[in-house]
Amino acid sequence: MNGVVRRTRSPAAAFVLLLTAAAGLVAARPGAAGAASSFTFYGAGWGHGVGMGQYGIYGLAQEGWKYRGMLVYYYEGTSTALVSSPANIRVGLVQDQGSTKLDATNGSVVLRLNDPDTGTLVATIPKGQTWTIEFHADGKFWVKRQTGTYVGGKGWGGTTSDLYANYADQNTIVSVPDTGHEYKRGYFEFNVYTSGGVYRGRLIAVVPTNAYVYGIAEVPASWPMEALKAQATAARTYAVHMALTAGQNRPVCNCAVYASGQDQTYIGYDEESGFDGSRWVQASDDSSWRVVEYGGAVISANYSSSTGGYTESNSAAFGGTQVPYLTAECDPGDYTSINPNRTWQTTLTGAQIGDDIASYTGTDIGDATSFLNTSRSSSGRIVTTTVVGTTRSITLSGTTLQAALGLKSTRFYSNVNMNVTGDIRTKYDDLTCSPGLATSPQTAIGSGLKQEFADGAIYWSSATGAYEVHGLIQQEYDAVGEATGALGFPTSDVVSANGTDTSTFQNGSIACPTSGGTVEDCQVTYT
């Protein structure tokens, strides 16, 4: 398409942050002196970010999380369950074709009309031969042998009489040059239909539901087994949901799911036979028939490569009604070291940005000089922003700007690095993003670092490690000089007990009422 035992819930999950010049965007008028001539975009993640994060499940598996826990974490309020239907998933391989070739790689392929097992026998493709199914102007299937002659010297079937290729019963691997992949499970169905006033053809793989998962190529099969089982379950859930809700005969493909990133990537036997394919099959078998449900219904299990540390709500990403299990969630596994997109940066000139926007939207703004009035969703992704140019301004959605500029996600900032990284990121993830979204870059303070968030701040030094302060304790700590004051760096997070919040520091402690008090009620103790 293009994933846990819950820790602290993030209070940032319901607010929209409006960016100003203080958040790193230049507030300039068209043509104003000092306007930026280039912009560095500091971003995180790759893809829409809705639902399960694939690098997230890798990171969580490395921390010991189990796959069912990961799934109910990413999909808010869900549970996992076993189902028994549908028996098969219809997978759209190719559409709108004039012809399609079949290569009987290691055995014969039987062609029949109307039914793959009992229908009228048309022909058998011998082992090692490549035959072509052509879709002619008479609306029939013309079966061309490798020699160039047609079976029966005529067309077969038609718009109401489909052609089937049965290979699994012969234990045959069949290759389809149009897809570049091999297939072993299920059988093929060919349809002829009208498209643009002419007859065209399509190819559908009809595959047993669990065997369909064997062919999903969404993450490396070398990943930790719990991550593979989470991915297998999400893939199965997505396909079953599509079959049950959109149906198995969607327009154009006559399928439940496309074999491409339009739904999820299906490469058939190539996945099983590829590197570590047996591990992927094992993960699929270990999670056999398991799906994710919400309120007893199979969910739309969206997922993406990298969330950048925070998943996105479906309504913010795609519009429409908010789905209760696709809310914005902290993704504490995404920052794993193998994730090439956990953070990223790209620099573009104002002229490049203007050209890209003109090419994508058809609106010429001249050279981009600044961004204004940027609004963000609760996950930190851009909802809308106004791009100021030398000739005019344009207000764009985050997804439009991302697409126009070729950026990896909508979770990015301009000319200021607000990404949470390093030891501060480790602490932030341990707190399940409870400090909220970053409101400052990491900055040097004393012998360490500090980063501010909507609901607190995290401090780090090599002597103490990283710790978070918030609320009245943060206010009092600021008042006494923070890390450069007499208290030094924090040596604990805020601990709540018996109505009192307490933080310890290198040279003392601060204690404040958990609720109902003011900073005057705090007590600072020096050691």
* Successive 10-residue mean pLDDT values, the chain, 527 residues: 32 33 36 68 98 98 98 98 97 98 97 98 98 98 98 97 95 97 98 95 98 98 98 98 97 97 97 98 98 98 98 96 98 98 98 98 97 96 98 97 98 97 98 97 98 98 98 98 98 97 98 95 97
Helices within 433-507 (DSSP H only) = 471-479
Query: Distance (Å, rounded) from C-alpha 343 to C-alpha 13?
Result: 21
CB within 8 Å of 175: residues ≥ 6 apart: 102, 103, 105, 181, 182, 183
CB-based contact 122:151 (threshold 8 Å): yes
pTM over 0.75? The answer is yes
Q: What tokens appear for 345 in the block?
A: 């940066």
pLDDT at 6: 22
pLDDT at 1: 59
CB within 8 Å of 380: residues ≥ 6 apart: 17, 308, 310, 411, 437, 438
pLDDT at 37: 87
Query: Distance (Å, rounded) from C-alpha 434 to C-alpha 439?
Result: 14
Q: Are strands 257-258 and 88-97 parallel, antiparallel or unpaired?
A: parallel
Q: Is 476 exposed, middle or buried (0-12, 13-18, 19+ CB in 10 A)?
A: buried
Query: Distance (Å, rounded) from C-alpha 269 to C-alpha 271?
Result: 5
pLDDT at 4: 26
CB-based contact 333:58 (threshold 8 Å): yes
